[in-house]
Amino acid sequence: MDVLATVRASGTIWITGMERADIQKGRIHMAQYPQWSYSQSRANMFDECLRKYYYHYYGAHNGWKTESADEMQVRLYRLKQLSNLYLVFGDLAHRMCESAVRSRGDGKPKPREAFLEQTMRDLLNQAYKESMDPEQWRLNPKNRTMLSEIYYGDDTLSDRVATIKERAGACTRNLYQTLTWEDLSRASTSILEIEKWDTMLLHDTRVYVKMDLLYRRRNGNIVIVDWKTGKEDDFSDQLMLYAAYVREHYRVPLEQIEIRVEYLLTGKHKEFIATEEDIRKVEENVGRYIEEMRSCVADEYYNRPKDMSYFTPMPSHRACRDCNFREVCSERIV
Ligand code: SF4
């Protein structure tokens, strides 16, 4: 089993005819500014702190071009790549689920719980060890791991390590007890998507979607599965967007789309069927975000941002505590 199997993005780059003509005539350089798109994580950061949003989505752009980018771009790009223990763990747990589901789809025996738990622990240790070598990370920040807890010397490190170890055990124990696993064990289910990137168009904007798992039941219903490795929370707008995507992409009515959140820490799950009203509300909400985000750009065509001073820092203990950009932000709350 390859727990480290890479899931590649399959999103398409959309270029209009007019843009293509401009590129051919050398009028624009497509890489000068980042491409405009919407995602739930972008909206979350926009709400959390505008300055952080600027650093992440604009300031860091092109910072990988160390020959031509300025010092700040390179620094922001590097900081953008920082991870943390919860993120690394969440990613590994999702890969564990993906790997188990793929094994089942390929007709192979399911990986043993002890093996999954040990593999997760080994990979967490590897992330920890890599983080002890800042020089290597500086040279290759995209492909090396640097935990922000280590980079910034946070005193939360040992507590987090203990929490993550507990969670790794609980998640591997509960995976095979979930309703989803029980469902997949029936011969009549067919897997449609696993961790696959796609886009849908909303308010003239590309919206990224990536469901953890999508499968079809014998009765024709489609189930959207969202693995959660943290505490139980409410259904997010993200899941409603997934339902809108599935309806459009697979041409099924909302009544036949089941949204299920599997809480791997507790082994519990919640299920939901989105209504027309839910979808309307979420699309309106996304529309408001898009409008506000677009008000932060000086030029919508190129997605050129306004001056950094327009992106007001919004310091708070919660936002600054884990912010990757603490090093460059004088407004941070410590
Ligand atoms: S350190 Fe705080 S104020 Fe500064 S960018 Fe990060 S979240 Fe915003």
Helix (H) or strand (E) holding 259: strand 257-263
Q: Whose CA is nearest to atom 5 of ligand 1?
A: 52
Give residue 7 CA to ligand 1 midpoint distance, Å: 31
* Number of H-type helices and E-type strands within the chain: 13, 7
d(CA 166, CA 161): 9
Q: Whose CA is nearest to atom 7 of ligand 1?
A: 320
> Measuring CA to CA, which residue among 311, 167, 322 is closest to residue 229?
167
For residue 108, what are the contacts with CB-CB under 8 A and spacing of at least 6? none
Q: Whose CA is nearest to atom 1 of ligand 1?
A: 332
Is ligand 1 within 6 A of the CB of residue 248? Answer: no
CB 73 within 8 A of CB 134: no
Give residue 72 CA to ligand 1 midpoint distance, Å: 16
Give residue 145 CA to ligand 1 midpoint distance, Å: 22
At 303 the three-state DSSP class reads coil
Strand partners, 269: 262
For residue 247, what are the contacts with CB-CB under 8 A and spacing of at least 6? 253, 254, 257, 279
Q: Which domains does the chain have, with CATH numbers?
A: 85-176 (no CATH), 182-287 (3.90.320.10)
Diameter of the chain by CA atoms? 59
Q: Give the CB-side neighbour count of residue 19, counting CA atoms within 13 A.
A: 11
The pLDDT tens digits along the chain (334 residues) read: 333 232 223 333 333 444 444 444 444 454 899 999 999 999 999 999 999 999 999 999 999 998 899 999 999 999 999 999 999 999 999 999 999 999 887 888 888 999 999 999 999 999 999 999 999 999 999 999 999 999 999 988 999 999 998 999 999 999 999 999 999 988 788 999 999 999 999 999 999 999 999 999 989 999 999 999 988 776 678 999 999 999 999 999 999 999 999 999 999 999 999 999 999 999 999 999 999 999 999 999 999 999 999 999 999 999 999 999 999 999 998 7
